[in-house]
Amino acid sequence: MTKTSFAVPDSELDALLARYTRDITAQDRTGKFDPITGRDIEIDQMILVLLQRMRKNVVLLGEAGTGKTALFVGLAQWINGGKVPAMLKGARLIELEMSMIGAGSQSRADLEGRLIPILKGVAERNAVREAGDKVRPPIIFCIDEVHQLMLAFKASSYSGIADLMKPYLTAGDLYVVAATTREEYDDYVSVEPAIDRRFQKIALRPADLAMTLDILMNVKTNFEKHYGIEITRDATARLIKLTDKFIRNRNNPDKSILVLDQACARYVKEGGKGALDEKSIHAAVAAEAGIDAAAIS
């Protein structure tokens, strides 16, 4: 088979991706992330969209702390675990983080000079794959806070960067999984029809107490290893109920995971051994809620 010649050579693209992006699939293979659970429905919906021929771009909509960006990791874990169809096997999930791409740039032209070869290099490889080179796995971009790239979002130095993606989105040569809140999507993304119609929306189900408990029971092993203590199911359930009751301005599972981390840190700081105690849980919840721990106990 004749080797494909690309406008952006493999060596150049690999160097750009290594310097300015984050390979989530590669990081997951090193054990960097906790297991993502409770979001099988949403991950399955993402895969369905990514398999499509035309509009294979997803935007995840959910409030802060509901686990939108955790779904990037969840998808990477499904890919690494071989739980995806053949068309997505070996896919690379690459996070486009504009702060990394823009770091040290002296002008907008510098930033675009870094981003355009990345977009072009990935798009032309995906295009070859679509044309029949199924040996080459797809490269999927992940973009958090995607509303900041829209022209309407004037507060961002990256405002309007999404326009650079339009030609590749129109041609169907990019796979993109983006994330933002529903409010920010309506305010900044939906007002740009050329972008809006190229994304399929997936709304995250709010994590109720039962789902949050399942999630924490799956991630607690890494906390136990880190702190050298035991975290019981009863203590976890207690923590979640208190977090839900006293910390109303944030969402699960994020707030419960943060409180669990702080409770464990408090416990070992005080010389605690064995199982995480109720006192440390109360203190952590109180600190995050800005109230006296006595009010909880």
Mean pLDDT over all residues of the chain?
91
Across 236-252, average pLDDT:
94
Give per-residue pLDDT as tens, 133-142.
666 789 999 9
- What ranges in 37-107 are assigned the alpha helix state H? 40-50, 70-80, 98-102
Q: Where are the beta strands (DSSP E) in the chain?
A: 21-23, 57-61, 92-96, 139-144, 175-180, 200-203
What integer pLDDT is reported at residue 94 of this predicted model?
95
What integer pLDDT is reported at residue 105 of this predicted model?
75
Q: Which of 46-50, 101-105, 215-219, 240-244 has the lowest mean pLDDT?
A: 101-105
What integer pLDDT is reported at residue 133 of this predicted model?
64
Give per-residue pLDDT as tens, 116-155.
999 999 999 888 876 666 667 899 999 999 999 998 898 8
Give per-residue pLDDT as tens, 50-79.
998 888 899 999 988 888 989 999 999 999
Residue pair 204/60 in contact (Cβ under 8 Å)? The answer is: yes
- 3-state DSSP call for residue 218? helix
What integer pLDDT is reported at residue 54 of this predicted model?
81
Fold of 10-203: Rossmann fold (3.40.50)
Across 185-208, average pLDDT:
91
Within a 10 A sphere around the Cβ of 16, how many other Cβ atoms?
Answer: 18
Residue pair 29/76 in contact (Cβ under 8 Å)? The answer is: no
Main-chain dihedrals φ then ψ at residue 231, nearest 5 degrees = -120, 110
Domain definitions of the chain by residue range: 10-203, 209-296
Across 30-48, average pLDDT:
93
Please state the pTM of the whole predicted model. Answer: 0.85
Main-chain dihedrals φ then ψ at residue 144, nearest 5 degrees = -85, 155
pLDDT surpasses 90 at 281: yes
Per-residue confidence band for 3, with pLDDT thresholds at 50, 70 and 90:
low
What integer pLDDT is reported at residue 104 of this predicted model?
73
- Domains 10-203 and 209-296 belong to one CATH topology: no
Class of domain 209-296: mainly alpha
Distance of alpha carbon 123 from alpha carbon 207, whole angstroms: 35
What integer pLDDT is reported at residue 134 of this predicted model?
61
What integer pLDDT is reported at residue 263 of this predicted model?
97
